[in-house]
Amino acid sequence: MTGAGGRKRARPGEGARLRTELLAAAERILDADGEEAVTVRGVAAAVGVTTPSVYLHFASRLELLHAVCLGVWDELGRCMSDAASDVDDPFSALHRRCATYIAFGLEHPLRYSLVMNGRATEASRQVAADCFRYLAEAVEPCVAAGALRGDVAELTRAICAGLHGSVALLAQQPPETWPRDLDAYATNTASLVAFGAAALGRLPDTSATPDSGTLAGLFTTPPATGTASGRPGSSTP
């Protein structure tokens, strides 16, 4: 028997193959025409099945969209791990993971926004948990080595906030307004986030309003001769 578009009905056990085809079709439509073009009916037509066949695999259009996004985000952990695979220094490894996170998010801005800023779904929760884990894996050895000071979870939350903000800021804007050199943007922002995390455990108590010049003096005092350059891989403050 055949379904819509002349496609043969799936035999028992072929459901996984159909799900893969539906995701591939949704991905093509999303990349070509944007989020609004991804509809259950349109994806069904592209694959050659009936609309109810799509609902057997995805309970809603939103679930379909998030599944497409998850397929891309599954690559994030591998990319972050690969980026730091040849680095022995834990702080440099953290910096590379941060830069990779930003670059990856900007390579997939629409999918990033759909998952991170969409309504709470299992896909969104999984992505958030995975991203936290990928970064915590880099933060923990930094704390063990003394490059970062503080609680691993708290430091990771602060780093996640900075990285997410740097991607979301651009993902919400048209690409023509983005910085021309995205590699430099990713590297510089990763430095801001990573060295900011390193500063958290070294600054005086900032819970109260500081005296005039107290904090400014920390950053305006000329460095002593022979101090670290401030680049990832040199000694942290």
pLDDT in tens, 147-195: 999 999 999 999 999 999 999 999 889 889 999 999 999 999 999 999 9
Is the pLDDT at 3 greater than 50, yes or no? no
Residue among 120, 110, 116 at smallest CA distance from 27: 110
The dihedral sign for the CA sequence 113, 76, 120, 54: positive
Confidence of residue 225 (pLDDT cuts 50, 70, 90): low
- The span from the CA of 79 to the CA of 119, in Å, is 26
User: pLDDT at position 224, please?
Assistant: 60
- Spatial separation of the C-alpha atoms in residues 223 and 233, rounded to whole Å: 18
Phi-psi region of 38 (alpha: psi -120 to 50; beta: other; left: phi over 0): beta
Can you tell me whether residue 237 is helix, strand or coil?
Answer: coil
Per cent of the chain over pLDDT 70 is 77
- Supply 60's token pair: 């809603």
Per-residue pLDDT band for 53 (boundaries 50, 70, 90) equals very high
pLDDT band at 95 (very low <50, low <70, confident <90, very high): very high
Give the confidence band of 218 by pLDDT, cuts at 50, 70, 90. low
Predicted confidence at residue 4, as pLDDT, reads 44
pLDDT in tens, 122-154: 677 778 888 899 999 999 999 999 999 999 999
**Predicted local distance difference test score (pLDDT) of residue 214:** 63
User: Would you tell me how many other CB atoms lie within 10 Å of the CB of residue 235?
Assistant: 11
Confidence of residue 32 (pLDDT cuts 50, 70, 90): confident
* Whether the predicted pLDDT of 230 surpasses 60: no
DSSP secondary structure string for all residues of 41-72: HHHHHHHT--HHHHHTT-SSHHHHHHHHHHHH
Give CA–CA dist 185/15, Å, rounded: 43
Looking at residue 118, what is its pLDDT? Answer: 62
**Residue 161 pLDDT:** 94
Q: Give DSSP secondary structure letters for 69-133.
A: HHHHHHHHHHHHHHHTTT--SHHHHHHHHHHHHHHHHHHSHHHHHHHHHSS--HHHHHHHHHHHH
Per-residue pLDDT tens digits for 100-110: 999 999 998 88
pLDDT tier at 74 (50, 70, 90 boundaries)?
confident
Across the range 35-62, mean pLDDT stands at 94
Q: Which residues pair with 2 in a beta bridge?
A: 8
| pLDDT (0 to 100) of residue 210 | 58
pLDDT at 34: 81
Q: What is the mean pLDDT of the chain?
A: 83
pLDDT at 18: 94
- Model pLDDT, residue 228: 46
Burial letters for 145-170: b for 16+ Cβ neighbours within 10 Å, e otherwise?
eebbeeebeebbebbbebbbebbbeb
